[in-house]
Amino acid sequence: MFDFLKKKTEINTMKIVDEIEAAVYEHIKPYGFKKHGRTLHRFVSEDISQVIHFQSGMPTHGMSGLLCVNLGIRIPECSERIFQPKTEKKKYYHEYECTIRSRLGIVSGQQETWYDLRKKTDKIIKSIIDEIDQYVLPAYEILNSRDAILAHRKEYPLLDNMVHLVALEECMIYGHLGNIEKAKQLFEEYYQSAVDEYNDLMKNGRKQYLKKGERVVFMGQDITAEKDGYVTLYGANHGHIDYLDELAVALGLR
C-alpha cells in the first residue's frame, strides 16, 4: 500500500511544468511573447511589459506538486516612481516587478487556481490556454498603451489586485506624459485618501476576528480573546504618508 502511494505521488514537477509552459508559449508566441525561464513576456508601446509567469508551489509551504500562473503589466514610471525613468530597458521583466497583477482563476471571477501536477497534463494545458484566451489576451490587447491604461484599467478589476494604487499610478503616467498639473491633482487626491484612511484607523480602529484564547499584539495593544468574536484594534502606521511626502518632493509636486 505504501509503495503504491509513493509511486503515485512521486512526479517530476520540473518536467511537467516545462511541458505546460512550452505548450502555452507555442500558443501565444504569435502574439509577440518571448520565453525567459518561467516567464513569458512581451513589450507593447515600446516599454510596457505584459507578463505570464509559471510559479511552482514551495514544498516548505506544503505546496509541492502544485502550479499557479501569475499575470502582470508593468509601466516603468509606475514601478520606479519616477516620471522619466532613466534605467536601461532590460530584455524582460518579472511579474513581481509589475504593478497591475493577478493570477489565473481570479481573472475569471473565481479563486486563484493551483493546478495539481499529478493530474492529466493535457487537461491542465487546455484549462490554462482557455482562460488566457478568454480573459488575459483580450485585456492585454486593450491595455497596450499608456492612454489605453488610463482609459480602461478600471474596467479590469480582476486583473488588478493593486487597484487601491490606481490614482497614484495614474499620477505617474500623466507625469510621464508631461501633464504635471493633472499628475499633481491625482497625487493630492491619493494623498488625501491615505490621510483619511490613517485618521479613520486611529479613531475607529479595525475589526479582527479571534478565536477563544488567540492573542494579538498591535501598536501597544496586547489582547487575548476570552471568547470567539471580533476585537477592535486601534492605531495605524504613518510610514506610507511619510513616504508620500518624500515622493512629492522628489517628483517636484511640492
The pLDDT, as a whole number, for residue 9 is: 55
The closest of 16, 223, 248 to 115, measured between CA atoms, is 16
Q: What is the mean pLDDT of residues 172-193?
A: 97
The pLDDT, as a whole number, for residue 41 is: 98
- Is the distance from CB of 165 to CB of 75 less than 8 angstroms? no
Provide the β-strand partners of residue 142.
Answer: none
Q: What is the mean pLDDT of residues 113-121?
A: 95
Q: What is the mean pLDDT of residues 222-230?
A: 93
- Is the distance from CB of 132 to CB of 141 less than 8 angstroms? no
- Helix 180-204 / helix 166-176 crossing angle, nearest 10 deg: 160
The string of pLDDT tens digits covering residues 4-57 is 334 445 678 899 999 999 999 999 999 999 999 999 999 999 999 999 999 997
* pLDDT greater than 60 at residue 3: no
Q: What is the mean pLDDT of residues 193-212?
A: 94
Q: What is the mean pLDDT of residues 168-175?
A: 98
Q: What is the mean pLDDT of residues 222-242?
A: 93
The pLDDT, as a whole number, for residue 82 is: 96
Q: How far apart are CA 177 and CA 75, in angstroms?
A: 12
Q: How far apart are CA 90 and CA 211, in angstroms?
A: 48
DSSP state of 88: P
The pLDDT, as a whole number, for residue 65 is: 86
Q: How far apart are CA 46 and CA 198, in angstroms?
A: 38
Of 15-24, 53-62, 71-80, 99-108, which range is least confident?
Answer: 53-62
Q: How far apart are CA 42 and CA 163, in angstroms?
A: 23
pLDDT bucket at 89, cuts 50 / 70 / 90: confident
DSSP state of 43: E
The string of pLDDT tens digits covering residues 46-68 is 999 999 999 997 665 556 789 99
Residues with Cβ within 8 Å of residue 64, at least 6 apart in sequence: 13, 57, 58
Q: What is the mean pLDDT of residues 120-127?
A: 97
The mean pLDDT of the chain is: 92
Of 85-94, 95-104, 189-198, which range is least confident?
Answer: 85-94
Domain ranges in the chain? Answer: 2-163, 199-250
The string of pLDDT tens digits covering residues 133-171 is 999 999 999 999 999 999 999 999 999 988 889 999 999
The pLDDT, as a whole number, for residue 59 is: 60
The pLDDT, as a whole number, for residue 104 is: 98
